[in-house]
Amino acid sequence: MKRTVPLILAFISGIVMVIAFFCREGSLAENLSQEFLIWSSIIGGFSLLLGCASIVRVQWKHVSQQKSGWGFSVVTLAAVLISGLPGVFAVSWSPLFGRGTGSIYDWIFVYISTPMSGTMFGILAFYIASAAYRAFRARSAEATLLLITASLVMLWRIPMGEAFLGTISSHLVDFVNTYIMLGINLAVQRGIIIGAALGAASMSLRILLGIERTYMGRG
């Protein structure tokens, strides 16, 4: 029962979507599928709230057991409260509450979270430069081809490089766009998209038919 009921539910919620694809708007199947989409959205929200609860639980464990670095876990928990609670309180209580522009919730996102987000990804530029210098070696013919193409594309994507390529040949910039990006690259990406789509479709069928059950966990 613990596994059978969810499997039946997965089948029903999925097969309605499949049938509705072939039905006209306003039909029973189409209306039911629309309702199921709303239900999915609601349940999806709870699953993400579960993730938040899980993180809070882990950090609380660090603090209560005074594990190494537990002071930083206090910082995390305090940040959760200070940034989350104002978003939960009704905006009718105070303009500082709610999620709108000018609220504490929004202020923390714009002035604390956004710069940190951007910088965390910005430092990747240093790492990619260092990695390109240390590890990008033309050890084989294939690696050499990859390296030459990467250099060509890096030149092609910058105005200085476009000007330089233009001095070698007026058709070189066009050649890179047409034959490399819209030719070879397009072909490979298309092959990957088709392969991945076939894999996703077969996995979806396995989930619908109850063959794939790993999402349910053990027990």
Partner 1 sequence: MNIWQRMSSIDRHYVYLLVAATVIFPLIVPAHFPIGISPEARQLYEAVDSLPEGSVVLLTFDMYANNLAETEPIARAALYHLFRKNLKVVTVTTIPFGGPSIAERITRELAAKYHKTYGVDYVNLGYKPNYVSVLKGMGSSIESIYPTDNSSTPLAQLPLMQTVKNYADMKFIYVVADNGIVDYWISIVQAQYGIRVGCGVTSVMAPKLYAYVGSGQMTGLLGGMKGAAEYELLVGKEGLAVTGMGIQSLVHLLIIALIFIGNLGFFMEKRRAARAKS
Partner 2 sequence: MSGMELFQIWIMAFFTLAIFSFLYKDNPIYRFAEHLYAGVSVGYYIGLYWDTVIVQQLWVPLTQSKVPEYWLAVPGIMGVLMFSRLSSKYSWMARIGLAFIMGNTAGVFLLSQLHGNVIGQMQGTMSPQMANGSPNAALTAIVVLGVIATLIYFYFSKEHTGALGVTAKVGIWFIMISFGAHFGYTVMGRISLLIGRVYFLYTDWIGSFSQIF
List of residues contacting partner 1 (CB under 8 A): 17, 21, 25, 30, 34, 37-38, 40-45, 47-48, 99-101, 106, 109-110, 113-114, 117-118, 120-122, 125-126, 128-130, 132-134, 136-138, 147, 150-151, 154-155, 157-163, 173, 177, 181-182, 185-186, 189-190, 192-193, 197
- Measured CA to CA, the distance from residue 56 to residue 84 in angstroms comes to 12
CA-nearest of 176, 210, 186 to 14 is: 210
Least distance (Å) between residue 181 CB and partner 1: 5
Q: H or E segment at 51?
A: helix 28-64
Least distance (Å) between residue 196 CB and partner 2: 8
Closer to partner 2 by Cβ: residue 38 or 168: 38
Whether residue 43 contacts residue 35, with contact meaning beta carbons closer than 8 Å, is answered with no
User: Rounded to the nearest 5 degrees, what angle is found at the Cα of 79, between the Cα atoms of 77 and 84?
Assistant: 100
Least distance (Å) between residue 117 CB and partner 2: 7
- Expressed in percent and rounded to 5, the helix, strand and coil fractions of the chain are 80, 0, 20
Indicate which of partner 2, partner 1, none lies near residue 88 (CB less than 5 to 8 Å, by partner kind): partner 2
